[in-house]
């Protein structure tokens, strides 16, 4: 993850009792995202504070390439498989300014 990365964060509310099935389906269809040449990786996280809330974060080369993916058949198929589990959600997009992960921070 480097500065210049376009990051997308989805907040998904999953229908009660469907957490495990959602997680498994997300994992099974995840390569639809990660196999795209402009994708730098994605992560699924479960809220420690809100029941049934998940965050999906994906990093992209730039916004234009993400938007191309977002309009693609591949994305539509991916969303269709996850939709039955979802009761609500939102999307936030952002540009990474600094990356201070262990891999990028250089120390003397």
Classify residue 104: in a domain, yes or no: no
pLDDT digits (tens, 9 = 90+) for 16-54: 999 999 999 999 999 999 999 999 999 999 999 999 999
Query: Starting from the edge strand earliest in sequence, which strands make up the sheet with 86-95, in order?
Result: 39-46, 53-60, 6-14, 86-95
Q: Report if residue 107 sits inside a domain.
A: no
Q: What is the pLDDT of residue 1?
A: 46
pLDDT of res. 56: 97
Three-state DSSP state, 50: coil
CATH number at residue 46: 3.30.70.100
In a domain, 103, yes or no: no
Say what the pTM is: 0.87
CA 82 to chain CA centroid, Å, is: 12
- What average pLDDT is seen over the chain? 92
- pLDDT, tens digit, for every residue of 53-69? 999 999 999 999 999 99
Range of the domain at 73: 5-95
DSSP 81: H
Q: Is residue 23 part of a domain?
A: yes
Number of domains in the chain: 1
């Amino acid at each position: 993850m480097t500065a210049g990365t376009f990051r997308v964060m989805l907040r998904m509310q999953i229908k009660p009792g469907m957490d495990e099935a959602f997680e498994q389906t997300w994992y099974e269809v995840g390569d639809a995202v990660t196999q795209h040449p402009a994708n730098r990786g994605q992560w699924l996280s479960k809220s420690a504070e809100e029941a049934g809330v998940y965050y999906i974060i994906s990093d992209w080369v730039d916004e234009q390439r993400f938007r191309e993916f977002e309009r693609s058949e591949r994305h539509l198929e991916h969303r269709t498989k996850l939709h039955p589990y979802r009761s609500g959600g939102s999307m936030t997009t952002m540009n990474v300014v600094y990356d201070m992960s262990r891999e990028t921070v250089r120390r003397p």
